[in-house]
Copies of this chain bind each other. A is one copy, B any other.
Amino acid sequence: MEHSGVALWRRIKNTLSQEIDQGDIKPDQRLPSSQALAARFGVNRHTVLKAVSALQEEGKVRIERGRGTYAVANRLDYNIGPNQLFEQNLAAHNLAPSRTVLSVAECHAPSRAADALKLSKGSQVLLVTTLGEAEGLPVNYGIHYIAGSRLPGIAQLFRSFEGKTCQVFTFPELFEKCGINEYHRKDVVIRSRRPTNDEARYLNIPAVEHVLTTRVLSVGPKEIPLTYAETAFAGSRVSFRVSF
């Protein structure tokens, strides 16, 4: 190998780095396998591994054993605040938001939902599932338990959206039509876990990827609980931010 003053694996690293920056390899796109790269650069596979490993140190790629290495996408930085809405967060990134109501139904509230909403055990609540998207890419899948008894007529409103894709609506907007002119988050709990089958399907992520979940209790006037939602976000596509 020719003498050039800079180590071979460093040159390979720089080449790949440029290709990512220039968009030859797009965010979330898979890089060629180490074997393919070794063939392309005419070097041993170890040399490629070293270059790619260094790229991961810099945060430019994400290596997944058995799957491949991927150019890292810019995460959607999702602000957590009492009045931050899904749509506001997307608009801040110049992304077109859309929200689809997947289903509307009545059900008995699970105990944790009933507790959060301060309803007696097994009360009837409205169950709404939604899919949030940014530029067509699925971002979150939410199950909302809504205290219908405190929001007269809300079921009808949600049913009018059911199944229609790409509708833009916000919860406060809908609730205003039920006479609720205040609505904000009270409590947010964030966890990480493997996706359920539904979540993996709707979010279009492999089962081995993880989801970030939020459990959000939102309240209306006089701190009356109105909705309790469990929402799953594709773990590799978002980050949550809390500012003080």
Which positions in A face B, CB cutoff 8 Å? 62, 64-65, 75, 77, 80-82, 184-194, 207-208, 210-212, 235-236, 238-244
A189 & B239 in contact (Cβ 8 Å cutoff): yes
Q: How far is the CB of A49 from chain B (nearest CB, A)?
A: 14
Q: How far is the CB of A108 from chain B (nearest CB, A)?
A: 14
Q: How far is the CB of A220 from chain B (nearest CB, A)?
A: 14
Give the residues in chain B near A211, CB-CB below 8 Å.
192
Q: Decide if the interface of chain A is mainly helix, strand, loop or mixed.
A: strand
Q: When the two chains form the complex, which single residue of B187, B190, B236 contacts A244, counting CB atoms closer than 8 Å?
A: B187
Q: When the two chains form the complex, which single residue of B62, B189, B207, B236 contacts A77, counting CB atoms closer than 8 Å?
A: B189
Q: When the two chains form the complex, which single residue of B207, B212, B241, B244 contacts A192, counting CB atoms closer than 8 Å?
A: B212
B189 & A235 in contact (Cβ 8 Å cutoff): no
Q: When the two chains form the complex, which single residue of B62, B82, B210, B239 contacts A190, counting CB atoms closer than 8 Å?
A: B239
Across the A-B interface, give the 10 residue pairs with the lowest CB-CB distance, nearest first: A192-B235, A82-B244, A210-B210, A190-B240, A188-B242, A191-B239, A192-B192, A189-B241, A192-B212, A187-B243
B62 & A241 in contact (Cβ 8 Å cutoff): no
B207 & A242 in contact (Cβ 8 Å cutoff): no
B188 & A241 in contact (Cβ 8 Å cutoff): yes
Q: When the two chains form the complex, which single residue of B185, B186, B208 contacts A208, counting CB atoms closer than 8 Å?
A: B208
Give the residues in chain B near A189, CB-CB below 8 Å.
77, 239-242
Taking CB as reference atom, which chain B residue is nearest A238?
B191
Give the residues in chain B near A64, CB-CB below 8 Å.
194
Give the residues in chain B near A75, CB-CB below 8 Å.
191
Q: How far is the CB of A137 from chain B (nearest CB, A)?
A: 17
Among A208, A210, A236, chain B packs the most CB atoms within 10 A around the CB of: A210
Q: Beyond the given A187-B242, A208-B208, A212-B212, could you list 11 further A-B residue pairs with CB under 8 A, ordered by the A residue number?
A: A75-B191, A184-B244, A187-B243, A189-B239, A189-B242, A190-B241, A190-B242, A192-B210, A192-B236, A193-B236, A210-B235
> In the complex, what distance in Å separates the CA atom of A210 from the CA atom of B240?
16
Give the residues in chain B near A186, CB-CB below 8 Å.
243-244
